């Protein structure tokens, strides 16, 4: 990313001049320099487009199929929101670094504050889903499990006002084989993680930050899990991004090739729920939700490049016998395309539930849920 110091100085002087010329004319932060003029920020080093047709699984903590990050590359992800007070802190920190993230939203949360969902999208982040009400999939029947997934997709899409990305993360990373198969059938990608902030186990921003940095030090790269509902993440995200920039990590931003398709029955359920929420909200005065924040322009980002999804082995290890869908762009990589239906026909390749890491078991701080769902 180009950084032009001269322009930065001019912009700074202009800012100072405007402020001196008269309060109320322009606030200092309304003419802050564009991303390309800022030094020491993360920015976005690659924007990759993922084709989830037939399903894809990412995240080495559970899945070993795809390894698409180069050493030093990270993907920022935030689950469980939105929750305005804390999500806003996360958005502002991301904005200060002109960087982008993926938000795996809970359907119920999205319907509580659709404006926040749209704001996250407007700022150029990717919106995926994280179920309707954050139930542990391993404890659900097939029908309930599907409803959790599909109502989540419909509800977040409804709140967003357009389809979400077909990117899904299992609550608690609990991923029964039958639900993985369902997501494959629905052309959703499954996103596990590489580095866990364990932000729900602490209220300290620095503890959260140190866990991410030490996890990255061990693994050298990875998809980072945080929660934009957690106090520690809201408190520590700005310092964490500063540290990641200082240490030279490169942010990879994920976008989807195609939007998620919703199912009519679940769209209807989501609409009913939204109406119920609206009636509830209409009876209670709410804070102003039409705030518009400044946002970095698309021209500050690298061009979108279809992700070359190589089966594990692109950057280390041997190629597996069969490969998933691969699309190349620019880089000289081995290309191999297989029919997803053909892939699923082979029972030996049916997804298997993974064993969740011990760190994800045990008590979780879910006080925030009481805050949001008082009714």
Site residues, Zn ion (CB under 5 A) = 79-80, 171
Whichever of 32 and 211 has its CB closer to Zn ion, that residue is: 211
What secondary structure, in 3-state letters, does 87-111 show? HHHHHHHHHHCCCCCEEEECHHHHH
- Minimal distance, residue 79 CB to Zn ion, in Å: 4
Beta-bridge mates of residue 66: 311
- Minimal distance, residue 80 CB to Zn ion, in Å: 4
Whichever of 65 and 80 has its CB closer to Zn ion, that residue is: 80
Distance CA 101, CA 75 (A): 7
- Minimal distance, residue 291 CB to Zn ion, in Å: 26
- Minimal distance, residue 350 CB to Zn ion, in Å: 25
Phi, psi of 306 (to 5 degrees): -55, 130
- Minimal distance, residue 169 CB to Zn ion, in Å: 7
Strand ranges for the chain from DSSP E: 46-50, 56-58, 73-79, 102-105, 126-129, 167-168, 189-191, 195-196, 222-227, 250-256, 304-306
Distance CA 294, CA 91 (A): 11
Contact 228, 372 (CB under 8 A): no
- Minimal distance, residue 171 CB to Zn ion, in Å: 5
Residues 326, 328, 332: CA angle, nearest 5 degrees? 120
Whichever of 79 and 148 has its CB closer to Zn ion, that residue is: 79
- Minimal distance, residue 29 CB to Zn ion, in Å: 32
- Minimal distance, residue 364 CB to Zn ion, in Å: 9
- Minimal distance, residue 191 CB to Zn ion, in Å: 12
Phi, psi of 319 (to 5 degrees): -75, 140
Alpha-carbon radius of gyration of the chain: 21
Whichever of 291 and 364 has its CB closer to Zn ion, that residue is: 364
Distance CA 205, CA 202 (A): 8
Whichever of 8 and 172 has its CB closer to Zn ion, that residue is: 172
Whichever of 46 and 169 has its CB closer to Zn ion, that residue is: 169
Whichever of 80 and 119 has its CB closer to Zn ion, that residue is: 80
Burial letters 74-111, b for 16+ CB under 10 A, else e: bbbbbbbbbbbebbbbbbebbbbbbbbbbbbbbbbbbb
Asked if the peptide bond before residue 82 counts as cis, ω within 30 degrees of 0, the response is yes
Whichever of 227 and 250 has its CB closer to Zn ion, that residue is: 227
Running DSSP on this structure, what letter comes out for residue 311?
A: B
Whichever of 193 and 216 has its CB closer to Zn ion, that residue is: 193
């Amino acid at each position: 990313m180009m950084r032009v110091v001269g322009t930065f100085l001019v912009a700074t002087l202009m800012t100072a001049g405007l402020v001196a010329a008269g309060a109320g004319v322009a606030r200092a932060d309304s003419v802050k320099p564009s991303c390309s003029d800022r030094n020491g920020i993360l920015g976005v080093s690659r924007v990759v487009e993922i084709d989830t047709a037939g399903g894809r699984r990412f995240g080495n903590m559970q899945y070993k199929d795809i390894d698409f990050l180069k050493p030093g590359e990270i993907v920022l992800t935030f689950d469980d929101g939105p929750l305005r007070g804390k999500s806003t802190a996360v958005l502002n920190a991301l904005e200060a670094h002109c960087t982008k993230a993926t938000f795996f939203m809970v359907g119920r949360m999205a319907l509580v504050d659709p404006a926040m969902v749209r704001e996250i999208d407007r700022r150029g982040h990717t919106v995926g889903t994280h179920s309707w009400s954050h139930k542990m999939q391993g404890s659900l029947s097939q029908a309930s499990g599907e409803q959790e997934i599909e109502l989540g997709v419909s509800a977040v899409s409804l709140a967003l006002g357009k389809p979400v990305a077909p990117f899904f993360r299992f609550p608690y990373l609990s991923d029964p084989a039958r639900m993985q198969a369902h997501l494959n059938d629905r052309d959703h990608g499954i996103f596990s993680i590489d580095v866990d902030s364990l932000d729900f186990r602490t209220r300290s921003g620095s503890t959260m930050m140190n866990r991410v940095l030490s996890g990255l030090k061990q693994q050298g790269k990875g998809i980072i899990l945080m929660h934009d509902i957690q106090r520690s993440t809201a408190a520590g995200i700005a310092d964490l991004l500063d540290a990641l920039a200082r240490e030279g990590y490169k942010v990879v931003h994920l976008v989807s090739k195609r939007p998620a398709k919703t199912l009519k029955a679940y769209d209807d359920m989501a609409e009913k729920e939204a109406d119920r929420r609206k009636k509830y909200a209409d009876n209670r005065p709410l804070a102003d939700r039409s705030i518009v924040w400044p946002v970095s322009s698309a021209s500050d980002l690298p061009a979108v490049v279809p992700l070359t999804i190589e089966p594990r082995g692109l950057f280390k290890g041997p190629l597996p016998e069969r490969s998933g869908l691969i699309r190349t762009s620019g880089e000289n990589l081995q290309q191999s395309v297989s029919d997803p239906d053909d892939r699923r026909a082979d029972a030996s390749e049916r997804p298997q539930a993974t064993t969740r890491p011990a760190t994800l078991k045990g008590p979780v701080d879910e006080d925030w849920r009481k805050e949001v769902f008082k009714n």
